[in-house]
Amino acid sequence: MPKRLLIIYTGGTIGMKQTISGLAPAGDLAAEITQLIEMGPAFQKNPPLLHTLSYEPLIDSSDVKPSIWVQIARDIEQQYDDYDGFVVLHGTDTLAYTSSALSCFVRRQGKPVVLTGAQLPFGFPRSDARSNLISAIEVAANMPASMAQVCVVFGSRIMRADRVTKVSASAYDAFDSPRSPLLGNIGIDIHFQPERRLIDDHPTPLPARNLPPDGAVVLLKLYPGITTRLLRSVCMDPEIKAVVLEAYGSGNGPSRDLEFLNEVRATVERGIVVLVVSQPLDGVVSFGRYAAGTGFAGAGAISGGDLTTEAAVTKLYYLLACGLDTAEIATQLGFQAGA
């Protein structure tokens, strides 16, 4: 029996058209998808039954906000029983944020949810749009049940949704998963890695009761010269409920700047979550590795472990939506404040 798949087209380069102002979201990909299935040899043996849902208006991924993550998740969950898998077409700029968010907000598990996009639109010479779409459909239709999860398919890689990051603006392998092994590879054939089963970061799925404001989570990157005044001014915004600090190396920060560390401590004491992640693509936070990391630990910041920046931002937003406090958020993330 053929698999039933829903393709959710949110926008992005994959379906853009050239305008006088440059590439912009335009048109519905339903015709291209239909033609692809009718003519594409990849599906001649057992073609899946495809349905499409196109957003109106289409969204450039640079305009995506947390409310859009929730909308996509709700569209998937509302039609979860009607399909065997889902493909989400999305712009590349913020795809890693949306994929990580969906790994949280799509609470039902057991069916593949595959995100993909393109570096060049359909119709452009040497566009990767067709190959990425075909690969995403094949993965959604054939991913082993034991691996079924939210994932990203792009170029030659199948990646875990909440460990993916964009690494290139020009290469066809635009995304990578440097902190987590690939779920599979795409060449002449698709090779899954069955041992890469779903890693359930949330043993008990949580209900998102009250969505916080889109700006509830703020991202700050440490750099030589960052000031206490900057951190304080950002965190005085009453909408801010959590801060992701992109630190150096294994979670290191300005250990001699006691004023800055005291401001981190004051921020935590006001009930704002401070989560520390690593700036290097393959970095993992371990506060105890260097003396420079103990300052954040002593100030009550939470270690983000191997979380990417994108995963940190989206998971915090999700956990805030679940109404959790700082200690509960640390528990759900699997880390401890000051660890």
The residue to which tokens 């880390």 are assigned: 335
Q: List % helix, strand, coil for the chain (3-state, nearest 5).
A: 35, 20, 45
Q: Please give the Cα distance from 227 to 296 (Å, whole number).
A: 15
Q: Are 162 and 277 in contact (CB under 8 A)?
A: no
pLDDT higher than threshold 90 for residue 36: no
Q: Are 248 and 220 in contact (CB under 8 A)?
A: no
Single out the residue of 82, 76, 83 nearest to residue 103, CA to CA.
Answer: 76
Q: Of 13, 52, 92, 98, which one is the catalytic site residue?
A: 13
Residue type (1 letter), 174: A
Q: What is the pLDDT of residue 208?
A: 72
The residue to which tokens 């290097």 are assigned: 280
String of b and e for 80-91 (b: at least 16 CB within 10 Å)? beebbbbbbbbb
Lowest mean pLDDT among 2-16, 153-167, 171-185, 238-252: 2-16
How far out from the chain centre does Cα 307 lie? 11
Share of the chain above pLDDT 70, in %: 89
Q: What is the pLDDT of residue 328?
A: 85
Band of residue 335 on the pLDDT scale cut at 50, 70, 90: low
Lowest mean pLDDT among 55-59, 118-122, 325-329, 331-335: 331-335
Q: Please give the Cα distance from 233 to 5 (Å, whole number).
A: 47
3-state class of 274 per DSSP?
A: strand
Instruction: Count CB neighbours of 124 within 10 A.
Output: 15
Beta strands (DSSP E) in 132-283 are 150-154, 157-160, 165-166, 175-176, 184-186, 190-192, 217-221, 242-247, 273-278
Whole-prediction pTM = 0.92
**Which residues face 158 on adjacent strands?**
153, 184
Task: For residue 13, indicate whether it is catalytic.
Answer: yes
Inter-CA distances, 313 with 101, 163, 231, 243, 245, Å: 9, 12, 17, 8, 10
The residue to which tokens 């995304």 are assigned: 175
Delineate the domains of the chain, giving CATH numbers in brackets. 4-192 (3.40.50.1170), 217-333 (3.40.50.40)
Instruction: Count CB neighbours of 277 within 10 A.
Output: 26
Residue 13: CB partners within 8 Å, gap ≥ 6? Answer: 23, 91, 92, 117, 118, 119, 120, 121, 129
pLDDT higher than threshold 90 for residue 265: yes
Q: Please give the Cα distance from 137 to 7 (Å, whole number).
A: 9
Mean pLDDT (whole number) for 192-210: 69
Band of residue 28 on the pLDDT scale cut at 50, 70, 90: low
Per-residue pLDDT tens digits for 58-115: 899 999 999 999 999 999 999 999 999 999 999 999 999 999 999 999 989 899 999 9
Mean pLDDT (whole number) for 169-177: 95
> Positive or negative, the Cα torsion across 287, 262, 314, 116?
negative
Q: Please give the Cα distance from 276 to 254 (Å, whole number).
A: 13
pLDDT higher than threshold 80 for residue 339: no
> Positive or negative, the Cα torsion across 105, 106, 109, 112?
negative
Q: What is the pLDDT of residue 255?
A: 83
Per-residue pLDDT tens digits for 119-130: 998 878 889 998
Q: What is the pLDDT of residue 184?
A: 97
Single out the residue of 77, 79, 75 nearest to residue 90, CA to CA.
Answer: 75
Share of the chain above pLDDT 90, in %: 66
Lowest mean pLDDT among 29-33, 207-211, 282-286: 29-33
Average model confidence (pLDDT) across the chain: 88
User: What's the farthest any 2 CA atoms get from each other in the chain?
Assistant: 66
